[in-house]
Amino acid sequence: MQSSFPALTNATRLNMERLVMLRSVIMACLSAVIIGLTVTSIPLPLTPLFAAIFGLGALNGLAWWRLKHHEETTQGELFTQLLGDIAAFSVLFYFSGGYNNPFIWMYLLPITVASVALQSLYTWIIASLSITCYTLLMFFNVPLSHLHLHANIGGQGELHLDIHLVGMWIGFVVSSIIISIFIARIGQNLRDHDKTIAKIREQSLESERMLALGTMATSAAHELGTPLSTMAVISKELTHDYASQPELLRQLNIMRSQVSRCKDILSSITSNAGNARSDVVQGLGLRDFILEAIQRWRDTRPATELIVNLPTNTHNPRILIDRTLTQALLNLLDNAADESPELILFDAEWDDKSLKIQIRDFGSGLNAETKSQLGTPFFTSKNEHGMGLGVYLTQATLARYGGKLNLNNHSDGGAIAVVTLPLKLLRLT
């Protein structure tokens, strides 16, 4: 069953991996200390001590198996692993001096991991059990002799070292390393998790904004239908009244065609609301898709010369037809034509994986303020003639397919818009 919070699941999985590494370091340190003390002829109950370390190893093996065969790791699993750590520590400390053991501080490790990786209920359970086990070890334990280590230093005499104090020193060194490396990584993991949540929240707000714009567009389409129908009727009547005036008739016909195009656009908005893709089954060749978009734009802006440069190869992958993607290209062409009404250059190239389109105008270019705010909703550099939504909607459409839009000044003057669009989500398989 998939988690409702994938980012949280990933964070728990990473924390489990950190715990496995942390436990491996603890096992290595404990084994080294036990072996070292045994070599120096200090009597220790090796069987229960190594049994406890073996238990930690078994927990690690179980954790690795879970990580290898399951993509998700729950907080309950991590909690169970920490309970196993407490049990193993309790056995180890019981047979090695109880609360006098200088490594008793290791009870803090499960508490620390739980504090940064688990819910508060789990953390309090781990803390309560650790305190309880520590307290019981004050009364129930197998005591160790208060032994000293003797070392001869350069013929200057013997140096007497209290084994408990040496253990405390080793514990401080090990805990410093563990906190610096592993706990810091868990903290970074949580910070990355917070960034992921913030990004998801930002995407959610962006989706809500797009939904609001779509609703407004659909409402506007319904409201504009009536005045456009009125204009179509009046222009048709005028063509009959002024049939004897060719110049005026030509202008009326242009107006009628533009009104008709507006009605087609509004009809497309209402009929395709909520349906981003049409003609999914048939699809269309990429070259044909681009040429169709170009022709559609030329029909609306016949006064602007558009020089098109497409690759000469015959490779023409079939893609899903997305009218919003067509509109994104039209938005960029309209912006270029507004800045450079005489001439625009359109270059496209593609392969099996991606499409790259460059649209260049010969206008005044982008100033610093315009460049920094392009793509912000309702920001426009066209004074009262623009709504400030073209670039924003284009970026949003491209982002749905993993594409990007870059707007920069061209070195020879004017501005250039560069669209890079992966074809993975558009290709028909």
Rounded (10°) angle between helices 390-400 and 323-339: 140
Query: Comparing C-alpha atoms, which of 228, 313, 308, 305 is closest to residue 269?
Result: 228
* Cβ atoms 4, 197 nearer than 8 A: no
- First-to-last C-alpha distance (Å) of the chain: 28
Average pLDDT of the residues in 291-306 = 89
1 in a structural domain: no
173 in a structural domain: yes
Cα 355 to Cα 342: distance, rounded to the nearest angstrom: 26
The answer, yes or no, to whether residue 56 has pLDDT greater than 90, is yes
Please state the three-class secondary structure of 144-188 as a single string.
CCCCEEEEECCCCCEEEEEHHHHHHHHHHHHHHHHHHHHHHHHHH
Residues 221-254 have pLDDT tens digits of 666 777 877 888 888 888 888 888 888 888 888 8
Do 231 and 175 reside in the same domain of the chain? no
pLDDT for res 380: 64
Single residue among 152, 172, 203 that ends a domain in this structure: 203
Do 283 and 261 reside in the same domain of the chain? no
Do 190 and 333 reside in the same domain of the chain? no
Provide the pLDDT confidence category of residue 277 given band limits of 50, 70 and 90: very low
The answer, yes or no, to whether residue 21 has pLDDT greater than 80, is yes
429 in a structural domain: no
Higher pLDDT, 86 or 382: 86
Do 239 and 263 reside in the same domain of the chain? yes
Residues 184-210 have pLDDT tens digits of 776 777 777 778 788 777 767 766 666
- What DSSP character marks residue 427? B
In angstroms, how far is CA 141 from the centroid of its own chain?
A: 51
Q: How many domains does the chain have?
A: 3
The answer, yes or no, to whether residue 276 has pLDDT greater than 70, is no
Do 263 and 357 reside in the same domain of the chain? no
Provide the pLDDT confidence category of residue 282 given band limits of 50, 70 and 90: low
Q: Please state, rounded to an integer, the average pLDDT across all residues of the chain.
A: 80
Least confident piece of the model among 4-13, 46-55, 235-244: 4-13
pLDDT for res 230: 81
Single residue among 238, 254, 271 that ends a domain in this structure: 271
pLDDT for res 281: 46
114 in a structural domain: yes
Domain assignment of residue 410, given as a range:
278-422
Provide the pLDDT confidence category of residue 65 given band limits of 50, 70 and 90: very high
Report the DSSP beta bridge partners of residue 349. 356
Provide the pLDDT confidence category of residue 379 given band limits of 50, 70 and 90: low
Do 260 and 365 reside in the same domain of the chain? no
Do 145 and 43 reside in the same domain of the chain? yes
The answer, yes or no, to whether residue 84 has pLDDT greater than 90, is yes
428 in a structural domain: no
239 in a structural domain: yes
Do 24 and 138 reside in the same domain of the chain? yes
Element (H, E) at 113: helix 108-117
- In percent, the amount of the chain with pLDDT more than 70 equals 78
pLDDT for res 143: 84
Please state the three-class secondary structure of 318-377 as a single string.
EECEEHHHHHHHHHHHHHHHHHCCCEEEEEEEECCCEEEEEEECCCCCCCHHHHHHCCCC
Average pLDDT of the residues in 263-290 = 66
Do 252 and 344 reside in the same domain of the chain? no
Do 159 and 78 reside in the same domain of the chain? yes
338 in a structural domain: yes
Triad 94, 95, 98: Cα angle to 5°: 40
174 in a structural domain: yes
Do 57 and 123 reside in the same domain of the chain? yes
Do 215 and 306 reside in the same domain of the chain? no
Single residue among 203, 218, 246 that ends a domain in this structure: 203
CATH, residue 294: 3.30.565.10
Q: Quick check: helix, strand or coil at residue 4?
A: coil
The answer, yes or no, to whether residue 401 has pLDDT greater than 90, is no
